[in-house]
Structure 1
Amino acid sequence: MTTSGTAARAARGAYLVWGIALFAYAIAVFHRSSLGVAAVDAQERFSAGASVVSLFLVLQLAVYAALQIPVGVALDRFGSRRMILAGALTMAGGQLVLALASDVPTAIAARVLVGAGDAMTFISVLRVVSLWFPGGTVPLITQLTGILGQAGSIAAAYPLVALLHVTSWRTTFLGAAATGALVAVLVLVALRDAPRGTTAPPPVDAAELRRRLADTWRESGTRIGLYTHLVTQFSGTVFALLWGYPFLVVGQGRSPATAAGLLTLLVLVGMGVGPVLGRLCGRWPLRRSVLVFAILAMTVTVWTVVLLWPGRAPLPLLVVLVVVLGTNGPGSMIGFDYARTWNPVERMGSASGVVNVGGFVASLLTVLAVGAVLDLLTPGASTAYSLDAFRAAFSVQYLFWAVGLVGVVRHRRLLRQRLARDGVVLVPLHLAVAARLRGGSAYR
């Protein structure tokens, strides 16, 4: 076979394996979103209030975040195939328990299982991407993974809800459990950790795993990835996941249809922006922090205008807010690209796990802080939150933006000092762009 034929075959194999891994991630997103779209039915089934149902989400996110580093270490030890398989079976088990649950404690246990299985999936898929695609292509494929995986939330929002309304709770979530079993079968049959001929890392003992985790944490490339994920992800996630809809409907007085349309726009913007950021990271890998700062500056600026606007914000301003928040998810993926490029392959899983902690911990804490401030400023158990209460509540974001910015700036400086010691000199940004457009190098 010719060299070009071999390359084409390898490319087809990479996309096939990625397709299986991507499907597993999309189903994980489906499981993650399934209870949220069935919240009203859950309140009726378990005789629970809205606060109890929201506890399901908080615990699920907490489990997801808490398991990222242990899962990352296990990923380096066992590989993507085993971890994605374990995640699929764990989420299927969680949905099975939820289908049969009739009380709140059992339902909570079910969502903990879903959170645990979900935690095993995404960073395992990223490891598949890193090992099957050439380095320059990885940022784009990573962005596409994050974007296309959100098809799972669409499946939760439409087919699952439709099935729930025409059948029953038990039938619907038994069907959801069956999707996990389907993923497990596909992973067993078609997913491989790395291309044929790739040397598998030798097994290591617990002491070596601890040493690798310590090295991963000391690596400034991992730290800048963590703070990048934190500073770019949490605002859009909190808005889309829980507090955006109440803010738009209760605080800003928009109709439910308008609020739903704005949240849909947020997802669509992310789908459009992701590939662009992936291309830019591939072309200018040493300028990724510029993209991070740009996304952060836009996010802080538009939120500041919205929060300081006298009275309710006009619809065009809310559209701008949603468009900017749509860049947050794709922006957070830059954090994983830092982890990939500054860590050796044997630490890739643990590095991705550390990065993934940043945004989800910030999101979880922001969800709780916004709710606490709203409750503090709203009399009794009312949910008729005032616009001023929402302004105060969303102001907690500035604390996390400050923490993330300081972390990115500090570790960016350390990485640039290391590059300077290695003889890599970054030219001014405008000259780098001009050089690239002329087909030359962005560095000297």
Structure 2
Amino acid sequence: MRLGIVVLILAYGMSQFFRAFMAVLAPTLTTETGATVEQLATASGVWFLTFAAMQIPIGEALDRIGPKLTAAVVFAVGGAGGAAMFSMATEPWHITVAMGLIGIGCAPVLMASYYIFARTYSPAAFASLAAMMVGLGSLGNIMSSAPLAWAIEAFGWRPTVLGLAALTLTIAALIMVLVENPERVTHSQKGSVLDVLKIPALWPILLFLMVIYVPSAALRGLWSGPYLQSVFNVDSTVIGNVTFFMAIAMIVGSFAYGPLDRVFGTRKWIVWVGNFMGMLACVALAIWPDRGLLSATILLSAIGFFGASYPMIMAHGRGFLPPHLVGRGVTLMNLCSIGAVGLIQTSAKPLTAALWSGTTTAAESYSRLFAFFAALLAAGLIVYLWSKDTKA
């Protein structure tokens, strides 16, 4: 199983890569395919929406079929197939369809890992294992920043993405060979996602999951590139460097959150305080969007660091799930997190119209965007106050 987990980490690294690589590719895709920022935001959002839409059937598949076949087949067909299509895109809608396929392909990878952790290891170890998975897998986030920019410059963007398709297919084959299914749970009730929703303690957690990942995912995955280009007039290499630091911060944040529940004896308040700090970083960018490139880099990195609480809040929700509902429960939580990002990204056109109305400068418009992210986090923090705590 150790080799199986290593392969799933590699697959999750590809998932992290694909959800974030549009920030670096955006200027090139605009030039070569004529795609606007709004169209690229929609394509990025479709990745999240198809990813989210797959969570319910994946939850069923994990509980009924197991993680091995579920992850291998879907990752191969959707992930590798979508990346191959992306490499041949000549129109904006080609990019959107390809991103949708890639989202489907990446959908089962992290949840397959969490299912194995929940079924094989003690609940006390779940947060640390989940953080390890996200932290190591987020190396893909790093690869989609400066290294991607270097690869595009050296080989061109089409050969680079086609190579990623081949790598994705290879990892899918390794999942099929090396991942082992945990022992199946026998229960008098089959269970469904409706049974998960009947657990009241999960409701505030599910609502908070709808907002905590939005700022870091939307900024790292798309908006950071146009923001840096419009406000500071930098090229894709500088964008790659800034997003590299943000990616590093997200990885460090994942590892930092991991063991804290066993240190402080709480999960709720670790998540709450961390995201409150992330909200303050959004507020600072809203107030000073054009203070300087260094300031922007530090604040974007802070949003990435404090926004990396996903493993901890998943451990929080996992504490309320009975064994026969683990697959459906973790995928429902993931749906809330990823689906919200998709909705925000696909609403880029009306959001852009609202934020960029009138004769505002680029800095003023992005100030409104950061204020919007801060308001989302503030609303989520209020709801999360009503959650019941769980301890390691």
> Quick one: distance in 2 between partners of 1:123 and 1:72?
8
Q: Secondary structure at the match of 1:30?
A: helix
Is residue 408 of structure 1 aligned with residue 387 of structure 2? no
Q: What is residue 329 of structure 2 aligned with on the other side?
A: 351
Correspondence 1:186 to 2:174? yes
Match of 1:226 among 206, 221, 226: 206
Aligned CA distance change for structure 1 residues 218 and 379 (closer, same or farther; 3 Å): closer
Aligned-partner residue type, residue 282 of structure 2: W
Structure 1 residues 390 and 97: alpha-carbon distance in aligned structure 2, compared to 1, 3 A threshold: closer
Q: Is 2:189 the partner of 1:201?
A: no
Identity %: 19
Structure 2 residue 68 is the aligned partner of structure 1 residue 81 = yes
**Counterpart of 1:302 in structure 2: which amino acid?**
A
Once the two structures are superposed, the pairs formed by residues 162-181 of structure 1 within 5 Å of their partners are: 164-167=152-155, 171-181=159-169
Structure 1 residues 389, 371: closer, same or farther in 2, change over 3 A?
Answer: farther
Q: 1:203 to 1:42 in 2, by over 3 A?
A: farther
Amino acid in the other structure paired with 1:143: A
The verdict on how the C-alpha distance between 1:110 and 1:80 changes in structure 2, with shifts beyond 3 A counting, is same
Partner Cα separation in structure 1 for residue 57 and residue 340 of structure 2: 19
Answer yes or no: is the 8 Å Cα contact 2:252–2:305 preserved in 1. Answer: no
* Counterpart pick for 1:292 among 265, 271, 281: 271
Shift of residue 145 of structure 1?
Answer: 1.0
Aligned to 2:243: 263
Residues of 1 paired with 2:146 and 2:49: CA distance? 26
Offset of residue 77 of structure 1: 1.9
Higher relative contact order (CA closer than 8 Å, sequence separation 6+): 2
Q: Is the 8 Å Cα contact of residues 227 and 407 (structure 1) preserved in structure 2?
A: yes
Matched, 1:212 2:199: no
Distance 1:296 1:158 in 2: 27
Aligned match for 1:394, one of 370, 376, 384: 370
Once the two structures are TM-superposed, the CA of residue 117 in structure 1 deviates from its matched residue by: 1.0
Counting only pairs closer than 5 Å after superposition, residues 240-389 of structure 1 correspond to structure 2 as 240-251=220-231, 253=232, 255=234, 260-285=240-265, 287-309=266-288, 312-313=290-291, 318=296, 320-367=298-345, 372-376=350-354, 378=356, 385-389=361-365
- Which residue of 1 is the match for residue 131 of structure 2? 143
Is 1:32–1:118's contact at 8 Å kept on the other side of the alignment?
no
Q: Which residue of 1 aligns with 2:15?
A: 28
Deviation at 1:146, TM superposition (A): 0.8
For each residue in 1:196-241, what CA deviation from the matched residue of structure 2 results, as whole angstroms up to 9, or x when unmatched? xx3x13599xxx65x4311211223433432343343222222222
Per-residue CA shift, 1:91-121, capped at 9, x if unaligned?
Answer: 1121233344544444432221111111122
Distance of 1:152 and 1:163 partners within structure 2:
14
Whole-angstrom distance in 1 between the partners of 2:85 and 2:239: 33
1-structure distance, mates of 2:125, 2:94: 44
Structure 1 CA distance for aligned equivalents of residues 299 and 185 of structure 2: 46
**CA displacement, residues 246-265 of structure 1 (integer Å, 9 cap, x when unaligned):** 334534x4755766544333
Between the aligned partners of 2:34 and 2:117, the Cα distance in structure 1 is: 43
| Distance in 2, Cα, partners of 1:65 & 1:250 | 31
CA–CA distance in 1 between the matches of 2:175 and 2:370? 41
**Deviation at residue 284 of structure 1 after TM alignment:** 4.2
Shift of 1:23: 1.4
2:282–2:303 Cα contact (<8 Å) kept: no
Distance in 1, Cα, partners of 2:41 & 2:372: 20
| Structure with greater Cα Rg | 1
Distance in 2, Cα, partners of 1:201 & 1:68: 20
Paired with 2:283 and 2:382, the residues of 1 have a C-alpha distance of 19
> Please, which moves more after superposition, 166-175 or 104-113?
166-175
**AA matched with 1:392:** R
AA partner of residue 40 (structure 2): V
Shifted more, 18-27 versus 388-397: the winner is 388-397
In 1: Cα distance, 2:327 partner to 2:73 partner: 15
Q: Which residue of 1 aligns with 2:80?
A: 92
| 1:376 to partner: Cα distance | 3.8
What residue is the counterpart of 1:129 in the other structure? 117
CA contact (8 A) 1:91 1:113 kept: yes
1:61 alignment partner, SS class: helix
Distance 2:234 2:220 in 1: 16
- Equivalent residues of 1:86, 1:120 under 8 A apart: no
> 1:213 and 1:44, CA in 2 relative to 1: closer, same or farther beyond 3 A?
same
CA distance in 2, matches of 1:385, 1:179: 42
Paired residue for 2:216? 236
Residues in 2 aligned to 1:36 and 1:386: alpha-carbon distance in whole angstroms: 17
Q: Give the 3 Å change call, closer, same or farther, for CA 262–30 of structure 1 in structure 2.
A: closer
Structure 1 vs Structure 2 CA RMSD: 3.3
Distance 1:69 1:222 in 2: 16
Q: How far apart are 1:183 and its partner, in Å?
A: 1.3
Aligned-pair distance for 1:191? 0.6
Q: TM-score, normalised by structure 1?
A: 0.76
Q: How does 1:102-117 map to 2 (within 5 A)?
A: 102-117=90-105
Q: Structure 1 residues 396 and 38 mapped into 2: Cα distance closer, same or farther (>3 Å)?
A: closer
How far the C-alpha of 1:167 sits from its partner, in A, is 4.8
Question: Contact between 1:137 and 1:282, CA under 8 Å: does it hold in 2?
Answer: no
Q: How far did 1:397 drift?
A: 2.6
Letter in 1 for 2:286: L
Deviation at 1:337, TM superposition (A): 0.5
Structure-2 change in CA distance of 1:355 and 1:99 (3 Å): same
Point out 4+ residue stretches in structure 1 off by more than 6 angstroms: none
**Aligned to 1:342, what secondary structure does the other structure show?**
coil
Letter in 2 for 1:290: W
Query: Structure 2 length as normaliser, TM-score?
Result: 0.85
Structure 2 partner of 1:51: 38
Distance 1:316 1:363, change over 3 A: same
Q: Distance in 2 between matches of 1:302 and 1:351?
A: 31
8 Å contact 2:210–2:336 — kept in the other structure?
yes
Pair 399,106 (structure 1): closer, same or farther in 2 beyond 3 Å: same
Structure 2 unaligned residues grouped into runs of 5+: none
CA distance in structure 1 between the partners assigned to 2:34 and 2:233 by the alignment: 29
